[in-house]
Amino acid sequence: MTGFLYFLGNTLRWPALKPREFLSLHAYLSIIYIITFILSKNNVNQSNLVFTLGILAPLLISIGQGLPIDCLDYKTAMIKEREKE
C-alpha cells in the first residue's frame, strides 16, 4: 500500500512540477487518438495497430535510451528519491 501511495503522490505532483512534460504528453496522446480516429473513419484496417504502436512507442524509446526496467520497483524508487535529497 505504501508503494501505491508513493507512486500516486508522484503522479499528482508531476503536473505542477513539470507542466511542459505533462502538456506535451497529453498533446502527443491526443494526436495519436485523432490519427487513429481519422484512420478508422476512412476504413483503414490497421488503425488499431497505429494506435497500439503510437501509445507504446514512447515507452519503448525510453527503455532503449536507458530507462531502467525496474523503474516501477518501489524499493529502487525510494533509494533514488533519498539520493536526490
Higher pLDDT, 52 or 78: 52
Enumerate residues 6+ apart whose C-beta is below 8 A from 21: 14
pTM flag (> 0.85) = no
Give 20's pLDDT tier (boundaries 50, 70, 90). Answer: very high
Grid cell of 35 as nine digits: 490519427
Enumerate residues 6+ apart whose C-beta is below 8 A from 74: 2, 3, 6, 7
Task: Answer for the pair 73, 5: CB distance below 8 angstroms, yes or no.
Answer: no
33-75 tens-digit pLDDT: 999 999 999 998 898 999 999 999 988 888 888 877 676 677 7
**pLDDT for 85:** 60
